[in-house]
Amino acid sequence: MSVKCRFVVSRAALMAAAFLLFAGGGAAAEASSDALKNPYEGRQDLVAEGASLFNQYCSHCHGPLAIQGERPRDLRRLKIRYGDDAIDLFWTTINNGRLDKGMPVWKDAISDDIKWRIYTFLQSVQSQR
């Protein structure tokens, strides 16, 4: 390969790497600056479906319709306990689990759509005390 050819290939590789670094870095920065938001927030028409999904996937530990006597597992108190961080805690916990507490990892087991429908139900049952 000639010197000129190697220079062109190297330059193209550097430009591609710079593009990927810039594009990837921009996307990462954008994602981290965006607050996590439930795409179904306020959708009362999805609450019953979310309740059914909750009962299917979560009620064996968190009680039917989230009614659970043990405070650590009572998901009707998320807003009281965690305030505006409740959504982040929900998303992190449901995706990564808490194996030390018996909470399984749901990241690949159920779709994000199902998770958000469950969270929509949970938002509808938050206690004020």
User: Is 39 part of any domain?
Assistant: no
Judgement on whether residues 26 and 54 belong to the same structural domain of the protein: no
Judgement on whether residues 27 and 52 belong to the same structural domain of the protein: no
pTM across the whole model: 0.71
Q: Which domain holds residue 73?
A: 44-124
**Number of domains the chain is built from:** 2
User: Is 129 part of any domain?
Assistant: no
**Do residues 92 and 86 lie in contact, with contact meaning Cβ atoms separated by under 8 Å?**
no
Which percentage of the chain shows pLDDT scores above 70?
73
Judgement on whether residues 30 and 90 belong to the same structural domain of the protein: no
| pLDDT tens, residue by residue, 14-70 | 343 333 333 333 333 333 336 899 999 999 999 999 999 999 999 999 999 999 877
CB-neighbour burial class of residue 54 (10 A; exposed 0-12, middle 13-18, buried 19+)? buried
Judgement on whether residues 112 and 67 belong to the same structural domain of the protein: yes
**Do residues 127 and 76 lie in contact, with contact meaning Cβ atoms separated by under 8 Å?**
yes
Judgement on whether residues 28 and 69 belong to the same structural domain of the protein: no
